Structure 1
């Protein structure tokens, strides 16, 4: 009887994992490459610009609830700037990020997003307005 209880306890512990993913989280999993972006110069306009080799980034959402963002540094193709942390989607149209590096954001941030089969647009809370559109890889 003790062996059965021990096996059951081990199975319970090993079976613990992240909460069940929401349908929106399952759709966002995978790698995304920046397609276009806009950052307002402060006058409220936000004209989209195409991503280039110098102004690009990739974003990956993993099934374990983590994300990693890579931004190449100009002239240093092998040493990208990396942001990482956890993400969650508790409300459709709003994605929450909790960055590992607390100098980026001290607390969890919640940004608007739009998602289709091939495109993901994230709208951080910028005073002047900004948006980043990624293409599924």
Structure 2
């Protein structure tokens, strides 16, 4: 629940008044006080529609686990309207070698991720993941 106050400028102010009081149960005396201080300017809203960061949503976490540089590459290529052969030519690879990148059979190197990013107009970070399992 939230009490939203949006009122015209008050005495000795040039700016309109705008603020929110949020909580599970806003006490009735608080709402009565706001109504008395800001007549016709208080509205009570149910804040069930509070925005949650997408990174914290279950569907996003599941989707992120299933995405990898190879899948991202295929999606980006298709969205760019290119065939495998066309993109392979743009980055200087044989179609078969490009195909192994898109299938995930061959990792995408930093250099190749930069070439792919240039060809597709995006960031190399879309395709490059550092291998964190390597020992220093």
Q: How high is the TM-score relative to the length of structure 1?
A: 0.17
Q: TM-score, normalised by structure 2?
A: 0.17
More strand by share: 1
Specify which structure has the bigger relative contact order, considering alpha-carbon pairs within 8 angstroms and separated by 6 or more residues.
Answer: 1
Bigger CA radius of gyration: 2
Relative to its length, the structure with more helix (as a share) is 2
